[in-house]
């Protein structure tokens, strides 16, 4: 079987380990692996190349993806999807493994409906917002990056007796903020999934400040769009000198953690085995230390929810 792998949408640590294992496992089982460089844009432009062991040597520790990624406005026009199909035909590629999220899976599903090119999706996003999987590729590394940043910020916050408001990525999902607040011992956590009771928080924190609290850490998910509001509250209501740190895209980079390297391996192997089982329009998921697949329609369009055990451990000051 000739199988291509591509990235689509935002990058995440762990993509290179997945790419490496994809090539190795394809060759082990007699398949022919191909790279699509530059995501959907590269597929349209025919940036397709047969892959070998040499192509993936020494990449396991690297962040990002050696094959690149992209978002594509041209993909919405059928003529460009037809062009992409012609490019695949030139190499007789039968299926695509896509490292991406909800939007990437939708893009490939439209493609399959028109040209019957099968695909298997690997949930690849630090947002951890894909339904049906407990972890997406890249999440663990992003959490460790955030944890390290918060630990460093705590040093300066405690030294200068300041409040720090730290904004994490995650789009509309508060998973990164929730877990980071929990493991860093932050006093405030603001996420889309739970209403932050500012009035109660004010009373509790004012009482703690009166007893000698000298600094404050507030973790805010970008999807709430409340970073500036929380900073103003810390400054004006709590009376604390306040600084804002937006962590931004450093959360997407860096050497993938041990967990993400192992996840990358497992996701890649399950994707290829799913194709060998004759599965179509599937997404690989990871739950209870086991890899499996779910149908496209079971995953896409459904809302991921943060596990209740995580939410119950957080102190939302309400």
Kindly list the catalytic residues: 127
Cα separation, 57 vs 219, whole angstroms: 39
Query: Is-contact 141 255, C-beta < 8 A?
Result: yes
Cα separation, 35 vs 5, whole angstroms: 5
Positive or negative torsion for Cα 312, 304, 144, 258: positive
Report how far apart, in Å, the C-alpha atoms of 30 and of each of 2, 33, 137 are: 9, 9, 26
Kind and range of the H or E run holding 123 = strand 118-123
- CA–chain centroid gap for 291, Å, is 17
- Partnered with residue 243 across adjacent β-strands are 164
Report how far apart, in Å, the C-alpha atoms of 40 and of each of 55, 110, 219, 238 are: 21, 13, 34, 49
Cα separation, 40 vs 22, whole angstroms: 19
Q: Provide CB contacts within 8 A for 25, sequence distance 6+.
A: 268, 269, 272
Share in percent of the chain as helix, strand, coil (round to 5): 45, 20, 35
Query: Is-contact 197 314, C-beta < 8 A?
Result: no
- Partnered with residue 219 across adjacent β-strands are 166, 189
Cα separation, 210 vs 162, whole angstroms: 15
What does the block give as tokens for 280?
Answer: 């179509």
User: Rounded to 5 degrees, what are φ and ψ at 120?
Assistant: -125, 130
């Amino acid at each position: 079987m000739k199988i291509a792998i591509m990235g689509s949408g935002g990058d995440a640590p762990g993509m290179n380990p997945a790419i490496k294992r994809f090539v190795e496992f394809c060759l082990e089982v007699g398949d022919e692996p191909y790279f699509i460089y530059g995501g959907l844009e590269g597929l349209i432009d025919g940036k397709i190349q047969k892959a070998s062991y040499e192509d993936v040597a020494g990449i396991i520790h690297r962040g990002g993806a050696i094959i690149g990624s992209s978002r594509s406005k041209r993909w919405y026009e059928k003529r460009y999807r037809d062009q992409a199909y012609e490019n695949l035909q030139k190499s007789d590629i039968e299926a695509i493994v896509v490292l991406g999220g909800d939007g990437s899976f939708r893009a490939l599903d439209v493609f399959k409906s028109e040209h019957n090119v099968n695909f298997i999706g690997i949930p690849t996003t630090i947002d951890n917002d894909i339904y049906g999987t407990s972890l997406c590729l890249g999440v663990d590394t992003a959490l460790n990056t955030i944890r390290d940043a918060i630990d460093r910020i705590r040093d300066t916050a405690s030294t200068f007796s300041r409040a720090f408001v730290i904004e994490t990525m995650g789009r509309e999902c508060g998973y990164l903020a929730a877990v980071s607040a929990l493991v860093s011992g932050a006093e405030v956590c603001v996420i889309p999934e739970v209403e932050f009771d500012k009035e109660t928080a004010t009373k509790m924190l004012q009482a703690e400040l009166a007893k000698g609290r000298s600094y404050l850490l507030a973790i805010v998910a970008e999807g709430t769009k409340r970073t500036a509001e929380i900073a103003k509250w810390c400054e004006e209501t709590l009376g604390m000198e306040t600084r804002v740190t937006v962590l931004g895209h450093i959360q997407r980079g860096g050497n993938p953690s041990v967990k993400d390297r192992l996840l990358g391996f497992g996701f890649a192997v399950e994707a290829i085995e799913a194709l060998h089982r004759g599965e179509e329009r599937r997404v690989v998921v990871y739950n209870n230390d086991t890899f499996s697949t779910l149908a496209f329609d079971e995953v896409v369009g459904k809302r991921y929810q943060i596990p209740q055990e995580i939410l119950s451990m957080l102190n939302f000051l309400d």
